[in-house]
Structure 1
Amino acid sequence: MNADTATAPPSALPIAVAIVEDEREVRQRFEDAVRAHPRLSWQFSAGSVSEAMALVAQRQADVYLVDLGLPDRDGRDFIRWLVRQCPDALPMVVTVFGDDEHVLTSLEAGAMGYLLKDSPSSEIAGRIVELFEGGSPISPSVARSVIRRFVKPAAGAQEPPEDNPLSQRELEVLRLIEKGMTYDEVAQVLALSWHTVTAYLRRVYRKLQVHSRGEAVFEARQRGIL
């Protein structure tokens, strides 16, 4: 290692990427995307969990693209193993599965991002950089599905108190506001316009007799609505 390399800032160093994918064409597409990006450096590719584990012992990467449907074991098993062996590693799922169960269990396993395989190669390369720089990239359709899961009451959940003055839609808006979302983000998740979201919030303020987002969340919690 020369002096220039030793003193180079982290942002100037290439981001080492490993690919764990059993489909040859898909694996090649990911490799080409990594090689074509100036910030990325291809480290290795593996077609199974066992092969990936053996390669990690030889040369670790910064970011790992991991498929879930691998021939020997589930990709989530590799992610769990990886975060135990390499706490600084950044695993990101790239898969065809976009349902809530696969997404949530992957995140619980330690995945820091979740992309669908139909994402353009150039986008995947950019998302790798985003992940390395502190982001948690998730395909938009997947993100909306997951957020809706938290907005909708769980099956068998206790009904809101009888003195709850809010409509179901007003409650959905308030739940998203409680999570720290902006008006634009709430509008996108609920497929509403920005003006409609603000109109719902005005009704919430009036019904709860408050004057701000923070007061609305606090009052709803005090009443057992949230």
Structure 2
Amino acid sequence: MIALFVGLRLYAVLGQRTGHEQQPVSRPEVPPETKKPAPTIADVPANTAEPSGLAYERGAAAGIGAIIAADPSFDVARFIEGAQAAYRMTLEAFWKGDREELAWLANDQVRAAFEEAIDAREAAGETLENRLVGIERATIEDARLTGKVAEIEVRFDAFIAAVTRNKDGEVVAGSLSDAVPTKDLWTFQRDLKSRDPNWRLVETDEAA
């Protein structure tokens, strides 16, 4: 599935229903866990980058229902898988400074913000040597339909190994031996009346 989305660059079938998937289930309420120390690379299971299940917050149910009513081909399971692929692709493009790839994945506003950070990094003579170790959780936090424009917020809890090098190749920040936890809230948007099946990244934020 991931290879398909990468091959199409912008996960062109993201959200399409085949009729053979199980119905998504809402994620049950769970008590907050005690904060744990950041794990090392060895502590992170090798398969955490794979889709972790079908889940969305209860508050997103009405919005998801509205989107499915407007577009019966939409499928939550495939959307979550595609969102995880898009998350990985976007991060890797940003880390590499690949402006062309970012233009395919995000709208103009988000792309401009990424490019501004890339420009500042390049002006400082710094390079990133980052790696997405795994996605522990990908959950739809909210969904809404305004007219025919659908927006879905996805929370990503992931582990990233991050290193920043200066122009001489020396490490000035981070470590590849430690997996740093990160929590992001990304919003994807699509005009359902458009024949273009692509979803675009329109907002990024840090999740609580």
TM-score interval for Structure 1 and Structure 2 normalised by the shorter chain: under 0.3
Q: Which structure has more strand as a fraction of its residues?
A: 2
Q: Which one scores higher on RCO, CA 8 angstroms, separation ≥ 6? A: 2
Output the TM-score relative to the length of structure 1.
0.24
Q: Which has the higher helix share?
A: 1
